[in-house]
Chains A and B, each alone.
Chain A
């Protein structure tokens, strides 16, 4: 504050500033006003995001018991972390979550890019197709998960009827670990591929047309154009889509919670489901928060690594 007052004072004493100085001073003042005016909003952001995160970290590092009068914290400890690292359920949930993230994001990005390319070429009905594509994406996951549960039902499910009709037996889609994991991935891919496709379409529309004309003049075929021109130009967009998807997929909760309940056995128990179960069923808030923090740290590291590799591309976007 004092410093800014000093700056103001000097600004007042100096003779008429050059246009250049005027601009800088003006910008500085605007920035200050900006901070002043946005601080209430920033305080709220801090309250609703930073505080819960910090509280979660504190709980994960304490001997915590939930009581009728809120949380009681007794001393600093790493025992919550050592407890989860030694638990086979946590290790399984971690492996499952990473595997699930890698597979669904990869499939969604490839499919989404292909759909995006097709959409961009559509001369008629692109708006309609975009609107249709948005239907799965806009559906609340809890509802789409219920729908998929009906589809995959082991007695009256339509998917089983189809398999049975074409002579593939009566598979229990949600009844065995492998098929339940695949079923859950299908439900996720159905829902989030449109998200990637729409980001890709947006990226394609923004591409400079001259480059394609130049490629055509140079005699590049459509295949060469795609690999040498479209895809490299699209990389920042795709990188952004991947980043969003990793963040969402790694924290997956609603889909397994509704579709499989984390089962069969613990086959589809993601880190988020495990954390929920530990905190809200077992009332073990220390370990539950340790799971939540571990998941956040891991996905943060994953995203930072990804950004390091794709930094240039993302900042271009």
Chain B
């Protein structure tokens, strides 16, 4: 009896010892994380040495970021840039950046963030007001509207890196076969889609982004603006989503589906699904961003190489052409805890230089944010079609001047998606969108 018990006890003690040992290892690991204080440097913006971390999601093609870094490091051999690859989903990206910065992390030093972030990041002190460091002459070189979009309460938080906007992609071969012109009104686009589908020239007419997510807010803005509507007042205190213009916009979007001009699946499509359908040769028209061009012309991804045309988005009949394209794209921001703000500024300034913007625009067919580079590239005969079209389109920014934009956008896309899939009427969807948007604007749920 006795020896047995002792054995059991010593086993237990041994087990405890193991637990203690392993837990102290964990403790030691936890304790080793350093707590760095944020620096209080007064940067001149002309630092030429140091190491900084750049947080950026893949820009259309994975190699772009490294190409830019290599060119930058060639210009500033004593500065080293560590690239941290960020999630491509803008929401996931934001939550990770916010977690790092609000936790006091000194890295990343510079982060590439969505154009819809400035108000939220500015209001919460999650980004450095760049206009405190960079003079107005710096901001004057960007294309109109971009700097205003990066402002919150009179300060600029993001330096525009590359721009994006909605385009209408169409099948040149199909339109020629059916003797149809490139549509200039939404109604014409719908009619031509129906004709092409009924004539069995193509499986689907018009594909776009109708899923319940941020992309639907972008698409909706284009219809709403060409119908003459607005989402909120200038002070962001009142939403106008239950307006006749919004009803016209959403009723038309719904009619695209009910008439058969767009497939029912469009209410679950995001950019990749819509683009894949178009590139498979199954759709006559596509609303997408700049990068859809390069994809449609890549033989391994696309069956429609050489058959695609690009045009500005249509408008509603009775309104002037072209319609409006929602502004997308990405800015560069600085982490308020960065210890290398002077070096960060050198990097940001270089990224808006002619050299960097030309790499983005010419080599990778992104739309440059610097006006002179944009014009120079668009003027060349060899310029990618979207960049030529971008020179003549009209732009509309999402109502992102409020820190409550994410909740506002959620109120828009969840309700409009419900109207598009027919689970609620357009009128009641917009009524609930308006009431939720008003709650969102006041900071509520």
Contact = CB atoms under 8 A, between A and B. Distances in A.
Nearest to A279: B95
Contacts of B26: 44
Nearest to A37: B16
A280 interface: yes
User: Which among A33, A67, A70 has the greatest number of chain B C-beta atoms within 10 A?
Assistant: A67
B102 A67 contact: yes
Contacts of B403: 283
A218 B410 CA distance: 65
Contacts of B245: none
User: Which among A37, A44, A176, A282 has the greatest number of chain B C-beta atoms within 10 A?
Assistant: A282
Contacts of A266: 212, 414, 418
Contacts of A287: 444-445
Nearest to B126: A68
A283 B101 CA distance: 13
A230 interface: no
B98 A175 contact: no
B13 interface: yes
Interface in A11-62: 26, 30, 33-34, 37-38, 40-41, 43-44
Contacts of B406: 277, 281-283
Contacts of A90: 445
Interface string B267-302: 111000100110000100000000000000000000
Contact of B125 (A40, A67, A71): A67
Interface residue tally on B, bucketed by range: 35 or more
- The majority secondary structure among interface residues of chain B is helix
Contacts of A38: 16, 19-20
A261 B211 contact: yes
B98 A69 contact: no
Contacts of B414: 262-263, 265-266
A56 to B, nearest CB: 15
B421 interface: yes
B102 A71 contact: yes
A69 B417 contact: no
Given A68-B124, A172-B265, A172-B267, A283 B98 contact: yes
B318 interface: no
A30 B444 CA distance: 55
A175 B265 contact: yes
B271 to A, nearest CB: 13
Interface string B94-136: 1100110111100000000000000010001110000000000
Given A40-B27, A175-B421, A261-B213, A66 B98 contact: yes
A117 interface: no
A177 interface: yes
B220 to A, nearest CB: 14
B410 A284 contact: no
Given A264-B268, A281-B410, 17 more contacts: A44-B26, A66-B98, A68-B102, A68-B125, A70-B102, A70-B103, A70-B104, A83-B444, A155-B265, A155-B282, A156-B276, A172-B421, A263-B417, A265-B421, A266-B418, A281-B94, A287-B444
Interface of A: 26, 30, 33-34, 37-38, 40-41, 43-44, 65-71, 83-84, 87-90, 153-156, 170, 172, 174-177, 260-267, 277-278, 280-284, 287
